[in-house]
A and B are shown apart, each in its own frame.
Chain A
Amino acid sequence: AQSVTQLDSQVPVFEEAPVELRCNYSSSVSVYLFWYVQYPNQGLQLLLKYLSGSTLVESINGFEAEFNKSQTSFHLRKPSVHISDTAEYFCAVSDRSGYSTLTFGKGTMLLVSP
């Protein structure tokens, strides 16, 4: 079984400031790691994922996440946020040797203000 912990339910930041959204996971098996973003009243969209290889993965809109196996973490970062980044961000894992079903954290609401 796996579990995902997102320690911050809300992260308020000012526009153009850096941000880090924390994600830790617990699993008895090897996992793949994902970050999804949910804008208000919409479904989830994949932001980035780690499958193998380089532990630093990047998205097309400036977010990046680093897989740290020893700390069982997959924190999401962006050096300079925009108002349009305001959304809920979900960290998720899937069992490498199982099906593609995802286990999600509770989410972190990123609130970007001018």
Chain B
Amino acid sequence: NAGVMQNPRHLVRRRGQEARLRCSPMKGHSHVYWYRQLPEEGLKFMVYLQKENIIDESGMPKERFSAEFPKEGPSILRIQQVVRGDSAAYFCASSPDSTSGNTIYFGEGSWLTVV
């Protein structure tokens, strides 16, 4: 009965490289959320996806960041041409549907370090 699975747990990238973070939701969940946690900050919402659809991307930076949740396979958060300011913990979460009040289950996070 696996929870939300994220990989890699830790990722080091040089400035200008690409980072790809993967997230497999809990079994039976078709809704995925990505949050970013910067040092000394709380979690900031980035994007909310359903299979093959982006529902809300109001928290995504306009450039270099993209997310997808294909029909098959995990959700991917992609950061192109990373900069030092992208260093953060990225958390994926999932829920069975979009009903507000549902418990959202979080993965253990992917820590991105840009050097």
Contact = CB atoms under 8 A, between A and B. Distances in A.
B98 A43 contact: no
Interface string B84-115: 00000001010101111111111111000000
B91 A43 contact: yes
What's the dominant secondary structure at chain A's contact region? loop
B98 A44 contact: no
Nearest to B4: A43
A102 interface: yes
Interface string A99-111: 1111111110000
Interface in A19-55: 32, 36, 41-46, 49, 51
Contacts of B108: 41-43
24 contacts: A32-B101, A42-B109, A43-B6, A43-B109, A49-B101, A51-B101, A90-B42, A96-B101, A98-B100, A99-B55, A99-B100, A100-B101, A100-B102, A100-B104, A101-B45, A101-B56, A102-B43, A102-B45, A103-B45, A104-B35, A104-B44, A106-B41, A106-B42, A107-B42
A45 B106 CA distance: 7
B109 A99 contact: no
The 10 closest A-B pairs by CB, nearest first: A43-B106, A104-B42, A106-B42, A43-B108, A44-B106, A104-B43, A32-B101, A100-B102, A51-B101, A99-B98
Interface residues of B, number: 30
Interface in B1-52: 4, 6, 31, 33, 35, 40-45, 48
Interface of B: 4, 6, 31, 33, 35, 40-45, 48, 55-56, 91, 93, 95, 97-109
A105 B106 CA distance: 16
A103 B109 CA distance: 18
A94 interface: yes
A45 B105 CA distance: 7
Most buried by B among A44, A96, A107: A44
Nearest to A105: B42
A95 interface: yes
Contacts of A41: 108-109
A71 interface: no
